Structure 1
């Protein structure tokens, strides 16, 4: 259990008038600088020493597994934390626990009562979408862990305030996309967050789905859930016809509108079409913007930096310096996918150690790819080809920006230019030798991929999304 899982409330004014005076916001940790975020999410396992490299092969291969634990902060982590921080806090501005409208909403016994309570939601939505293996879940877990999951309140400003606040709750969409599976996942996650065994018992009752969803909405309101994180949302595509896909998406919208719960959608690119059929779902999905985890390009400074950092974790007898030729080979065999990168490096080192070879080479990388990564050949070859038709055969591998452009044209969340990647790369620097191997002082570049939002506004106001998209030439007459 994380040491931040449960925490008594400590109130810290932020200096922002729309935040201060709200105990749900003041109890959160201070708003972090980019420097703080990078330092706190960095996880740099111990690097192998010469003594460790001299151990028998059977021991060294165990060390190789440490490479998979590394979390290297990149610009996208800073961007993600920035949006998540805003999502949490702004979502609480409309749910001041002492405000009359909030109290009326909390005690409403029906949807009609909520609508007449005077409560106005300030909740928004953020979406994490991208290729499988690009670290979406790992990144979000690292960001969520910056916050305590639950906060216990007792008194605020001299008045009693007995309340358990669930800052975030993360659930995984069931593989079959079923409503009952979603309900079970929610109750289990809430029990885990509160360290109780209470709400999961609801699944043993004969309550129908409608009542269970109402109970979920009530619990979200009662515990002031700051953000509901729904991972693997693409699994909704597996839902049987008439068994809940539209019902669940509409429930999410209602949860945000009527209970004021901010939502975080997480999934592969295969989830994007889920939002194209219902206009309000599409508009909600891009509320705080889309954080896209597409694969890196070969010349991306962050990709090169990531490869350099991971290459330092080498348990072979004679570590090979990372040359341009090796960098090119690594990219060719992974196509900028971080999960493929880690797999390639760990498998290559194990092969070298078991075979008694001196070091990892281009030939070794190719052999490992040919013999041990066969199941990944088709998706990697599709990415290598750059052919949209081949990539489309692997639905969750299609770059997110391509799918989203087909759905609607919107102004993507602009990534703030970060001052200096050297700030991040120097965090774990322990010697002049390490500093010499780090990327240039300012490899960060502004991301200028914003799209004209006038067209997005016209589409968003259209009553027929498909017709509007067809008029702009983004989709053909065939369904997705």
Structure 2
């Protein structure tokens, strides 16, 4: 049974599995499987059954619910797995003793100014998730993190009093004029919202506080509450402001020190504009590796997305989603999910307003014009399309097959999600008589069917030459008519395609 199943708030009481000396790591919730992750992430909307009988004003109002519709994709589970492992890596070596020792080192440096000797913990996780605007980075990260509690309250561990508040994650957004001080204040504000403290008010009352003193105060607070991961959203704002004010070096130093000296994981989130600065600095380059997300391709992922969205029509006449219409919407949106939802929503509103009461290509073009959507035809190639992520959960089970002599042969079979068939080689160890493997007839037929079934390719490009009609004298056509050597030789002789030699 999974922990924290019955909780509906962001703050929970700690539950431990085996108490092995690391309460922060042991209190983390379990990593979800793909099926349960999809169930928690998806957000469906329900139009009323009598929607056609409602007035045009009411039906247009129901269209606003499309903004709350959310469909999980495979890349989202990859992102969830990355965020969970980032938190887990923070607590991997952070025992109570290590935390106190690390806190004392920073406190002594703050009070005396002496040089620190960093002899604790390993380096925390540091990475970045960059992508095209509208692809769903922020909403996906927020939904991924919402599947686990934000704050865990510890009161007792190993029969001893142990009171502390563990903050698993924080999400901080950079304002347009972000500086080192502003970013530090935003992190303090996020901590206050999570646990109800007043760190922001206390720091703000010190009008003459320097950036270095504020940074040190923030490091101590991060370690006091054992923050596992800080997600810094819209990081391109901080980078652009720092470059404009020629403060790039202090910003980079602040981010690097926050990661190294607190062992708190950092995940940067933003557009691909931030990649330029990340690539210029070598020590920042290795700390910002991660996902680079590009729009959907015109493949099965896009078809599933648009088909699911197409079911929510508030017009009186239901339009059919044809292949041509799918291609037109893709060309106008470039495969960006946010644009696709906006286009379908506004196209229905325009159809209702005009009285046509049906989605057409004209209403879609009009919606794109009103929304001012202009997308480039080609995006940066230094990334991965969200269509290229594939997550498959494979469960292995052992099946016993009785041999003729009564011995049992073990065969490993796999069950794959989403009806994606993967053919695995089956190896049978049995006694051979006259170079023939003896098998029961029913089992042999079953194994033959499972191993000869072709692999389904949903989104891969079909390779090879195009199929064409073959001539009746073609060797492949002759062989397919009757797969026997005698018939092949006889037919080749009929067409005078065989040469006989006498020796």
Give the corresponding residue for 1:107.
104
CA distance in 1, matches of 2:49, 2:325: 23
Give the corresponding residue for 1:253.
256
TM-score, normalised to structure 2, is: 0.72
Give the corresponding residue for 2:497.
none
Residues 421, 444 of structure 1: 8 Å contact kept: no
Change (3 A) 1:239 1:128: same
Bigger relative contact order, structure 1 or 2 (CA pairs below 8 A, ≥6 apart): 1
1:366-405 equivalences in 2 (<5 Å) = 366-370=365-369, 372-374=370-372, 376-377=373-374, 380=375, 383-384=376-377, 386=378, 398=380, 400-401=382-383
CA distance in 1, matches of 2:217, 2:260: 16
Q: Secondary structure at 1:31's aligned position in 2?
A: coil
CA distance in 1, matches of 2:146, 2:38: 13
Give the corresponding residue for 1:3.
8
Residues 169, 230 of structure 2: 8 Å contact kept: yes
Change (3 A) 1:168 1:114: farther
CA distance in 2, matches of 1:415, 1:67: 25
Residues 351, 359 of structure 2: 8 Å contact kept: yes
Count of matched residue pairs: 390
1:466-477 equivalences in 2 (<5 Å) = none
1:165 deviates by 0.5
The answer to which structure has the higher helix fraction is 1
Residues 126, 266 of structure 2: 8 Å contact kept: yes
| Structure 2 residue 66 is the aligned partner of structure 1 residue 67 | yes
CA distance in 2, matches of 1:339, 1:416: 21
1:352-367 equivalences in 2 (<5 Å) = 352-367=351-366
1:388-427 equivalences in 2 (<5 Å) = 398=380, 400-401=382-383, 417-419=391-393, 422=418
CA distance in 1, matches of 2:457, 2:115: 50
| Structure 2 residue 38 is the aligned partner of structure 1 residue 35 | no
Q: Secondary structure at 2:287's aligned position in 1?
A: helix
CA distance in 1, matches of 2:219, 2:458: 42
Deviations 1:385-418 (A, max 9, x none): x3xxxx6xxxxxx45529xxxxxxxxxxx96642
TM-score, normalised to structure 1, is: 0.76
1:222-237 equivalences in 2 (<5 Å) = 222-235=224-237, 236-237=239-240
Give the corresponding residue for 1:348.
347
1:6-85 equivalences in 2 (<5 Å) = 6-13=11-18, 21-46=21-46, 48-85=47-84
1:283 deviates by 0.7
Give the corresponding residue for 1:148.
149
1:68 deviates by 0.9
| Structure 2 residue 242 is the aligned partner of structure 1 residue 267 | no
CA distance in 2, matches of 1:353, 1:89: 51
Give the corresponding residue for 1:282.
285
Give the superposed CA RMSD.
2.6
Runs of at least 5 residues in structure 2 that lack an aligned partner in the other structure: 1-6, 394-415, 421-454, 461-503
1:217 deviates by 1.2
Q: Secondary structure at 2:16's aligned position in 1?
A: coil
Change (3 A) 1:400 1:57: farther
Change (3 A) 1:423 1:178: farther
Runs of at least 5 residues in structure 1 that lack an aligned partner in the other structure: 14-18, 392-397, 403-413, 425-440, 447-480
CA distance in 2, matches of 1:54, 1:351: 19
CA distance in 2, matches of 1:20, 1:347: 56
Residues 130, 400 of structure 1: 8 Å contact kept: no
CA distance in 2, matches of 1:217, 1:443: 50
Give the corresponding residue for 1:199.
200
Q: Secondary structure at 2:183's aligned position in 1?
A: helix
CA distance in 1, matches of 2:123, 2:13: 25
CA distance in 1, matches of 2:459, 2:229: 30
Change (3 A) 1:65 1:210: same
CA distance in 2, matches of 1:423, 1:74: 16
| Structure 2 residue 212 is the aligned partner of structure 1 residue 214 | no
Deviations 1:231-257 (A, max 9, x none): 000012122555533212222212222
Change (3 A) 1:64 1:442: farther
**Larger-Rg structure:** 2
Change (3 A) 1:145 1:199: same
1:182 deviates by 1.0
1:177 deviates by 2.7
Residues 72, 306 of structure 1: 8 Å contact kept: yes
